[in-house]
Structure 1
Amino acid sequence: MTHIFVNVPTDDLERAKAFYTSLGASINPLFTDDNAACIVWDDNVFMMVLRRDYFATFTDKAIADPKTTAQVQIGLSRESREAVDQVVEAGLAKGGSEPRPAQDYGFMYSRDLDDPDGNSLAFIYMEPQAVEQGPDAFLAEQGQNA
């Protein structure tokens, strides 16, 4: 089994913990201290939110400022379009920002959310038939062009 651990920097660990728990994630206290918080999305997907100076101990590279530089966008699926909207609205209420309008491709619906540090998340719902058939086949079945 593979677990995914995504590390992101923060300037305010307590604010980051409050933000991510407002989105429905939980915190694993066994891997949380004054330097880092383990954000749990599900049994296999985790984010380590690390104080910027602590994050720097894991690499010799410069730590990008996520407010001005996009290096990665973390995409997380949701079970419905409504669930996408709910999680993004919760994030906006806790200080996040939505850098662009929702994207609706017919087979996939997504909304982007930047956390208060500028780390980019995308919340995505994909029609189950599109997952099974691929987007072109799904759209053709719906009478739409890919």
Structure 2
Amino acid sequence: MSRQIFISLPVADLPKSIAFYKALGFDHNAQFTDDTAACIVISEAIHVMLLTHAKFTSFTPKAVCDTKTTTEVLLSLNCESREEVDGLVAKALSAGGSTQGKPEDDEFMYQHDFSDLDGHQWGVFSMKGMPPQ
């Protein structure tokens, strides 16, 4: 059985968040979208469910954290090349996202990061000699 992962992220403004992820080049699956949630397709195996705060809290009794001051999770995404890493970060910044630092290049990996409009942190990287699966 092939497994898929669905990452649920709380967002303050659903239409703006959809536009942000579409600006990164990811697909939007309208079949799994309504006024409270939207499905962003990162790959055949990875989907991000953008949920309004009200929808998100219907799945958990815990409060939604303020990702501007608290880290809830670190999301990492393998890219095919250094150029793809830089391209995703550039698209994120152009779409209103932010970054915490400069790219890092070491012996085996090139990495950079961005935060989306709600402060969810994405680390994007390319491992030398290891293409994404």
| Short-chain TM bin | over 0.9
Q: Which residue of the partner structure matches residue 140 of structure 1?
A: none
Where do 5+ consecutive residues of structure 1 fail to align?
A: 132-146
1:106 pairs with 2:107: yes
1:46 pairs with 2:47: yes
DSSP-derived class of the 2:71 partner: coil
Aligned-partner Cα distance in 2 for 1:108–1:120: 18
Q: Percent identical across equivalent pairs?
A: 40
Matched residue type, 2:19: A
Native 8 Å contact 1:107 1:130 kept in 2: no
TM-score with structure 1 setting the length: 0.85
Aligned-partner Cα distance in 2 for 1:126–1:38: 28
Equivalent pairs, count: 131
DSSP-derived class of the 1:128 partner: coil
DSSP-derived class of the 1:58 partner: coil
How large is the RMSD of aligned CA atoms in angstroms?
1.4
Native 8 Å contact 2:80 2:131 kept in 1: no
Where do 5+ consecutive residues of structure 2 fail to align?
A: none
- Greater fraction helix: 1
When Rg is computed on C-alpha atoms for both structures, the one with the higher figure is: 1
CA 1:30–1:130: 2 relative to 1, 3 Å: closer
Aligned-partner Cα distance in 2 for 1:61–1:116: 21
Higher relative contact order (CA 8 A, sep 6+): 2
